[in-house]
Amino acid sequence: MTIVITGANRGVGLALAELAASNGQEVIGTYRGSQRPSVSGIEWHRLDVADPQSQQAFAKSLAGRAISLLVCNAGVYLEKGQSLESGYAKPLWDDTFDVNVTGVFMTIQGLLPNIRQAKGKIAIISSQMASDTLAPGGSYIYRASKAAALNLGRNLATDLKQDGVAVGIYHPGWVITDMGGSGADITVSQSATGLMKRFDALQLATTGCFETWDGTPHAF
């Protein structure tokens, strides 16, 4: 079983990659920076999910390899400290959507032949902040981008079901990471363990699901 995880060099992505590798699965992890991660047991590829040329090069490097699971984990949260009155400048919107939405789509599009070959699965890491039933205010750009990723996943689930490809959308929990902060609820290990169980359970009968890391169905 070959698993591709974007943004696998830190946080939940790294925990997922290490867990899958420890279970004997072939793991391909991507990183955006210039320095290749030193974590062993993972096949590392450089990928900027927001860059079409980088996406094309990545897809070409994996041509002909069946992918059983693609985890679209790479994401950014750039707007901390912004004020409603004077913040949230357009470049923040552009950069966030380039990674969190367009980057997800381009990754799936580029690797679709590989996923179809394996009749594999696609997991999109969104967030409970995507839900329109939870609207406590603030974080406008991130919330909008994760809502778009949720909508993207739901529509892909419809279109890819005929190919035998299941798509799930997941809230990883409020995780203690650079993004989540030290006051978050769960560790990366807890999140990764729960998410991997969700990926294993995903099937065509549940395609389009929006679930939390612990298996709870999430309100849309």
Summarize the confidence of residues 83-87 as an average pLDDT: 94
| 86: confidence class by pLDDT, cuts 50, 70, 90 | very high
Q: Which two tokens stand for residue 70?
A: 């693609």
How big, in percent rounded to 5, are the helix, strand and coil portions of the chain? 45, 15, 40
Phi-psi region of 39 (alpha: psi -120 to 50; beta: other; left: phi over 0): beta
The domain spans of the chain are: 2-212
| 217: confidence class by pLDDT, cuts 50, 70, 90 | confident
Highest averaged pLDDT of the listed ranges 33-42, 62-71, 185-194: 62-71
Residue 182's pLDDT is: 64
Summarize the confidence of residues 41-47 as an average pLDDT: 97
| 179: confidence class by pLDDT, cuts 50, 70, 90 | low
| 178: confidence class by pLDDT, cuts 50, 70, 90 | low
Token match 């923040």: residue? 92
pLDDT at 146 over 70: yes
Specify the higher pLDDT residue, 219 or 83. Answer: 83
CATH code matching the domain that covers 2-212, chosen among 3.40.50.720, 3.30.1180.20, 1.10.10.10, 3.40.50.300 = 3.40.50.720
Average pLDDT, the chain: 93
Q: Which of 30-34, 36-40, 126-130, 175-179 has the lowest mean pLDDT?
A: 175-179
Summarize the confidence of residues 143-157 as an average pLDDT: 96
Helix, coil or strand: residue 111: helix
pLDDT at 184 over 70: no
